[in-house]
Amino acid sequence: MIDFIRVLRASGVRISLAESMDAMRGVETVGVSDKEVFRAALKATLVKENRDWAIFDYFFPLYFGSQIPPMQNIPDQLGEGDQQTLQEALQALMGSMEALRELLKQLAEGKPFSQQQLQQAAQQSGLDQADQMYQRPWFERRMQRQMNTGQLQQLIEQLMQQLEQMGMSDQARQEIQDMLQQNADGLTDQVSQFTGTSLAEQNAAREPDPKPDLMDIPFTRLSDEEVEAIRDEIRRLAARLRSRASLRQKRAKTGTLDTRRMMRANMRYDAVPIELRYRSKHVKPCLVLICDISTSMRYCAEFLLTLIYELQDQVAKTDSFVFISDMTDISMVFNENEPQAAVKKVLNQNRPGYYNTDLGGSLVTFKRDHMGKVTGKTTVIILGDGRNNYNDPRLDIASEIKRRGRRLIWFNPEANNQWGTGDSDMHLYAQQASAVFKVSNLRELAAAVDKILVDG
């Protein structure tokens, strides 16, 4: 049980010491005579989340299944005449296939592989050097080759032919073939069980790999589980950014002198201005977000939109647009829904197609229908990788947005050594931007948003 708990932990199941003790007490109560009740007691005490059930179900038979397959001694099941015929057929085959003599004998007598045989094959196949469960199918095949189990079907067919030539009846041959097949399956299962158990034990014994910080995992490499974790983290991240912004404003020492506050503060010094007081005014930015939500950009766009709308108390106004092949105004969706619900609705309504990203064409639509939302107080943020499927990038419109607005900021998850490669026009767009921020993970994205909020 301790080894089983260790391998579950090594596979990512969260099990505390208290839960391990609960499992021990549970088994002490229900006993081990009924395997299903025993299994249910372990599962109830060790597994807390549905997503971990499959891990439990995978490892349970490796630790609590029978290591000895059900096999039959075939001669004991036959009549005296058929026994003699089978023995003669086996002798005939053994004489011509010396290397498979022991395997054929084991198959007929229903003897499972010994632990020594399995360990020897494991050493020869390099199983003792493996420690990852995904390697199991490959090492199973290597173990099968070492144990010659891949030739069992050939052996059975040759034995059936030999028995037919010796005049054994069809019914007797069929019974023998069924029992031989059952024994062959048992040997194959035994090798599979041994391989899985060995890998599980070696996996549990090794030091776990340090998990990367969620903030530093590139958006392109996020698993479904990590995406859900980031969605849960966004609200807490927004709260931290909000607190930092408030603290910076409180500590700010910039702005014009506030004469009234300064005179009052320095009355203790007979109005000599020893302690200076400033009139500070934080200007909240007006934002226009233009987000690429094509396949490669969807997570980045989702997290940026969620983060910005969680921080609306730090922003004077936000107008948001998304594009793939054309520009769509999504501001109203965020006015009517909570940020995460709004993002989900937007992504469901704007699904990506196949190679249809067209930023240039989308900018044409923006100029025609929405350019009036860009004023001298507006910070325009374009989120995209600048890959335009060889369409016209419409740099003239990007330049006009920069001239009309306070500044044009570009958020791009790609490093600048990828700009200009393939269908990327980013090296051209960068010349039109006031600044470009690399936002390949949550930490970089949060830092970029933080900078925009600081310099209102």
**298-318 residue pLDDT tens:** 999 999 999 999 988 888 899
Asked if residue 142 is part of any domain, the answer here is: yes
Asked if residue 216 is part of any domain, the answer here is: no
Last residue of a domain, one of 174, 205, 236: 205
In Å, what is the CA distance from 445 to each residue of 24, 48, 350, 381? 46, 33, 23, 12
pLDDT at residue 442 in the model: 92
Calculate mean pLDDT across residues 87-96: 58
pLDDT at residue 40 in the model: 92
The residue among 169, 408, 450 whose CA lies nearest residue 287 is 408
Segment 296-302 long-range contacts (CB within 8 Å, at least 24 positions apart): 296/220, 296/385, 296/387, 297/383, 297/384, 297/385, 297/413, 298/347, 298/352, 299/219, 299/222, 299/227, 300/219, 300/383, 300/411, 300/413, 300/439, 300/445, 301/383, 302/343, 302/347
Same domain, 194 and 330: no
pLDDT value at 96 more than 50: no
pLDDT at residue 51 in the model: 81
Same domain, 288 and 437: yes
Predicted confidence band at 412 (pLDDT cuts at 50, 70, 90)?
Answer: very high
Calculate mean pLDDT across residues 344-349: 92
Same domain, 422 and 351: yes
Query: Residues 6 or more apart from 288 whose CB is under 8 A from it?
Result: 318, 319, 320, 321, 373, 374, 378, 379, 380, 381, 405
Rounded to whole angstroms, the Cα distance separating 206 from 197 reads: 15
Asked if residue 237 is part of any domain, the answer here is: yes
What are the tens digits of pLDDT across the range 39-84? 999 999 999 888 888 889 988 888 887 666 666 666 666 666 666 6
pLDDT at residue 203 in the model: 75
Predicted confidence band at 367 (pLDDT cuts at 50, 70, 90)?
Answer: very high
Asked if residue 346 is part of any domain, the answer here is: yes
Same domain, 432 and 290: yes
pLDDT at residue 99 in the model: 46
The residue among 281, 346, 345, 362 whose CA lies nearest residue 316 is 281
Predicted confidence band at 282 (pLDDT cuts at 50, 70, 90)?
Answer: low
Burial 359-395 (b: 16+ CB within 10 A, else e): bbbbbbbbbeebeebbeeebbbbbbbbbbbbebebbe
Same domain, 321 and 412: yes
Same domain, 323 and 434: yes
Check the CA dihedral 331-334-340-343 and report its sign. negative
pLDDT value at 404 more than 90: yes
Same domain, 242 and 258: no
Question: By mean pLDDT, which of 183-187, 334-338, 351-355 is the weakest?
Answer: 351-355
Look at 87 and 183; give whichever has higher pLDDT.
183
Same domain, 26 and 84: no
Phi, psi of 159 (to 5 degrees): -65, -40
**Which run of H or of E encompasses 205?**
helix 170-205
pLDDT at residue 70 in the model: 62
Calculate mean pLDDT across residues 203-232: 80
What are the tens digits of pLDDT across the range 422-450? 889 999 999 999 999 999 999 999 999 98
**Tell me, what CATH number does 345's domain have?**
3.40.50.410
Asked if residue 219 is part of any domain, the answer here is: no
Asked if residue 445 is part of any domain, the answer here is: yes
Phi, psi of 125 (to 5 degrees): -90, -5
237, 307 in Cβ contact below 8 A?
yes
Predicted confidence band at 322 (pLDDT cuts at 50, 70, 90)?
Answer: very high
Same domain, 371 and 440: yes
pLDDT at residue 279 in the model: 65
E strands within 234-324? 256-257, 278-279, 286-292, 317-323
What are the tens digits of pLDDT across the range 146-167? 777 767 777 777 777 777 777 7
Same domain, 390 and 267: no
Which structural domain, as residue segments, surrounds residue 274? 253-282
pLDDT at residue 84 in the model: 65
Q: How many domains, the chain?
A: 4
Rounded to whole angstroms, the Cα distance separating 157 from 336 reads: 72
Asked if residue 337 is part of any domain, the answer here is: yes
Angle between helices 298-310 and 339-349 (to 10 degrees): 150
pLDDT at residue 328 in the model: 93
Query: Residues 6 or more apart from 274 whose CB is under 8 A from it?
Result: 266
Same domain, 94 and 149: yes
As a whole-number percent, the residues of the chain with pLDDT over 90 amount to: 32
Last residue of a domain, one of 261, 282, 303: 282
pLDDT at residue 65 in the model: 75
Look at 208 and 418; give whichever has higher pLDDT.
418
Q: Which two tokens stand for residue 354?
A: 């196949």
As a whole-number percent, the residues of the chain with pLDDT over 70 amount to: 84
Same domain, 151 and 191: yes
Asked if residue 210 is part of any domain, the answer here is: no
Segment 176-181 long-range contacts (CB within 8 Å, at least 24 positions apart): 176/74, 176/78, 176/82, 176/86, 179/72, 179/74, 179/77, 179/110, 180/74, 180/107, 180/108, 180/156, 181/156
pLDDT value at 379 more than 90: yes
